[in-house]
Amino acid sequence: MELPLGAVAPEKVPNLPPSHFVDTRIYTDAGIFAEERIKIFAKVWNFVCHESEIASAGSFRTATVAGYPLVVVRQNDGGIKAFYNICRHRQAQVVRACSGQAKSFQCFYHLWTYGIDGRLVGVTLPEGYAGTGFDKADYGLREVRVDSVAGMVFVCLSDETESLREFLGEVAPVLEKYAPPEGFEVFHFHQAEIKTNWKLFFENNSERYHQALHWVTRSTGTWGKTSLPDGWTFTRNGHNYKPFEGARYGGEHVNVGLDERREHILPGHKPNSTASHHLFPDLLLVSQTTVLRIDHLIPLEPGRTLIEWRALGIKGEDPAIRAKRIKHHNQYWGYGGVQLPEDITATESQWPMMATGAVRYSVIAREGDTFSDEPLRHYYKEWSRRMARPYWDPFNEVSIAR
Amino acid sequence: MAFSRPSYETRQAIEEIVLTAAAFLDEKRFLDWAELFADDAQYEMLFKSKELRDIDDYVMQFNKEELVSRMKLLPNYVIDTAKRLHAVSNIKIEVDEDRAACTSRFTVYRTLEDGTTSLYAVGSNDDALVQRAGHWLFLKRRVVLDTRKLEAHTHMPLQ
């Protein structure tokens, strides 16, 4: 007879400081997943797109934040507005394309029409509303807070949350330092639904210990065992960053299949380097000297995550230079790059094992070197603060067991 | 160049290389697959990005040397363990002496360790071929994916 999942008693609580292990139910529990939407995603600033994706007046991108459908639109005055993508009449989806150019938005169902500024400008057969008190001015698209830093557009569903700059804190000027004067431009976008919890992919990018996956028996990693200086910076609200690690591309490591990166270097970067910025809760910015990659995680279910990958070059650059950047992106972190598929395979292998409940506690106890788990502990400290649940004891059981 | 309908023998020879390429990928004979390309060949895989105004969004671009290098590296990677089946259909061929243009549609299926099969990717091939020393070889293969959202990532070419 098969035992139902969760029927196995948990193992002994680790003999570690509580902050140094994770109860894996924070990845698998459906109640916690639902709570994350309310306590985290509906409260924080969420990345939705890069400004270059909505470059001209009327250009738009749709997005989903905390399960809510949104549309982000460039305005005639150059500003950006964001709205719930829901018709105020009978709640049909207003904008059905993922991107495009619009002079107005018309709901396909009863043809109510909205300006790009969200105002309701047209109602089909308006005489039917005469004498009912109906006023078009009351039925514009519901607006959402929107702001941008370093060309990255964020929205916030809560009116009570601090400003975007306050939320990003000292990371904001760091990101601005890297932005070229001409601005970045997205040249690649793809997405995949991966079968794991969203936080596990964030972790994968936030710790370097997993370089073992890429270099122990093979040569697909760009970091050797000794090429990593320390230098993580941990900031308020759970963000962290790590600039300028030496990486190996080309040269003696040409067998890795990567070109040297000494030309067309992004502002603020060194040749053959990499820099990582990890923004709580769901945004990862990783540069590979010549290309900036943005990973955005969109939780779908406890064990299912939509990830959007963007790659960026410099706006208006020479096509030959852009072609180099595209090649560099594809060599390493693209749809068919050398490393991204391995990271996904690793994180997808974790979740179904965690979901069995056979091993409850996950170890994040490394200290003091480049391969420290401190980035994970810093991240989960913020998660715990917002969720009002310790990540090592989300159901308040460990203290009893001890 | 003036392309025209191929002779029966030429059509058979070109169909043979297109179907052999798919079979080599089925069998994970990656180096054999790369040898179907001429020394001056180009390989590209891309999709039309709906999110970025229908631009050509390249995901693989290799010359012959790079193609061989990637195929040699593949065994070093943690690759997708699923069995893949590469089906090719709707083959259209036109020739001009020792050059040929061939278009086809493709479907890739994945079968997992537990035997579950799913549709993985679909798209089209736009091939330029050249005849050298009596053999047809790919001079350019342009793989245009309709599938933009993947179920699993790939180090491997899909066509």
Q: Which residue, among B44, B49, B51, would best test binding to A if mutated, counting the most A CBs under 10 Å from its CB?
A: B51
Look at residue A287 in the predicted model and tell me its pLDDT: 86
Look at residue A208 in the predicted model and tell me its pLDDT: 76
Q: What is the mean pLDDT of chain B?
A: 93
Find chain A residues with C-beta within 8 A of B57's C-beta.
187-190
Find chain A residues with C-beta within 8 A of B152's C-beta.
192, 341, 344-345
Q: Which residue, among A185, A187, A300, A330, would best test binding to B if mutated, counting the most B CBs under 10 Å from its CB?
A: A330
Look at residue A2 in the predicted model and tell me its pLDDT: 46
In angstroms, rounded to a whole number, what is the distance separating the alpha carbons of residues A301 and A304? 5
Each residue of B121-141: pLDDT tens digit? 999 999 999 999 999 999 999
Is A55 at the interface with chain B, CB within 8 A?
no
Look at residue A10 in the predicted model and tell me its pLDDT: 86
**With 90 as the cut, is the pLDDT of residue B80 above it?**
no
In angstroms, rounded to a whole number, what is the distance separating the alpha carbons of residues A111 and A114? 10
Look at residue A400 in the predicted model and tell me its pLDDT: 62
Where b means 16+ CB within 10 Å and e means fewer, A116-127 reads bbbebbebeeee
Of A9 and B152, which is predicted with more confidence? Answer: A9
Each residue of A139-184: pLDDT tens digit? 999 999 999 999 999 999 999 999 999 999 999 998 998 889 999 9
Each residue of A224-282: pLDDT tens digit? 554 445 578 899 999 998 866 666 665 444 445 567 778 888 888 888 777 889 999 99
Look at residue A288 in the predicted model and tell me its pLDDT: 81
Is A342 at the interface with chain B, CB within 8 A?
yes
> Going by DSSP bridges, is the β-strand pair A361-363/A233-234 parallel, antiparallel, or unpaired?
unpaired
CB contact under 8 Å between B59 and A336, yes or no, is: yes
Find chain A residues with C-beta within 8 A of B60's C-beta.
330, 334-336
CA nearest A348 in B: which residue? B152
**With 60 as the cut, is the pLDDT of residue B119 above it?**
yes
**With 50 as the cut, is the pLDDT of residue B61 above it?**
yes
Find chain A residues with C-beta within 8 A of B66's C-beta.
257
> Shortest CB distance from A336 goes to which of B45, B51, B69?
B45
CB contact under 8 Å between A190 and B150, yes or no, is: yes
In angstroms, rounded to a whole number, what is the distance separating the alpha carbons of residues A236 and A293? 23
What 3-state DSSP class applies to A126? helix
Among A281, A288, A282, CA closest to A249: A288
Rounded to a whole number of angstroms, the distance from the CA of B96 to the nearest CA of chain A is 31
Which 296-335 residues of chain A touch chain B by CB within 8 A?
326-327, 330, 334-335
Each residue of B12-53: pLDDT tens digit? 999 999 999 999 999 999 999 999 999 999 999 999 999 998
Rounded to a whole number of angstroms, the distance from the CA of B8 to the nearest CA of chain A is 37
Look at residue A199 in the predicted model and tell me its pLDDT: 98
CB contact under 8 Å between A190 and B47, yes or no, is: yes
Residue A355 burial (CB count, 10 A): 18
* Strands, E assignment, A75-156: 80-84, 99-101, 104-106, 113-115, 120-122, 143-149, 152-156
CB contact under 8 Å between A190 and B149, yes or no, is: yes
Phi, psi values for residue A237, rounded to 5°: 70, 15
Look at residue B3 in the predicted model and tell me its pLDDT: 87
CB neighbours of A255 closer than 8 A, spacing ≥ 6? Answer: A219, B73
Rounded to a whole number of angstroms, the distance from the CA of B104 to the nearest CA of chain A is 22
CB contact under 8 Å between B148 and A190, yes or no, is: yes
Q: Which H/E stretch holds residue B65?
A: helix B64-73
Residue A153 burial (CB count, 10 A): 24
With beta carbons less than 8 A apart as the criterion, state whether A243 and A170 touch: no
> Shortest CB distance from B69 goes to which of A192, A220, A257?
A257
Find chain A residues with C-beta within 8 A of B154's C-beta.
335-336, 341
Look at residue A245 in the predicted model and tell me its pLDDT: 62
CA nearest A338 in B: which residue? B155
> Shortest CB distance from B51 goes to which of A189, A330, A338?
A189
Q: Which H/E stretch holds residue A293?
A: strand A292-301
Given a cut of 50, the residues of chain A with pLDDT beneath it are: 1-3, 216-217, 226-228, 251-255
User: A-B interface: how many C-beta pairs under 8 angstroms?
Assistant: 96
Which 352-391 residues of chain A touch chain B by CB within 8 A?
none
ipTM for the complex shown? 0.85
CA nearest A49 in B: which residue? B51
Find chain A residues with C-beta within 8 A of B151's C-beta.
192-193
- Order of all β-strands in the sheet with A99-101: A45-50, A152-156, A143-149, A80-84, A68-74, A59-65, A99-101
Instruction: Tell me whether residue A142 is exposed, middle or buried, using C-beta atoms within 10 angstroms of its C-beta: 0 to 12, 13 to 18, 19 or more.
Output: middle
Rounded to a whole number of angstroms, the distance from the CA of A23 to the nearest CA of chain B is 27
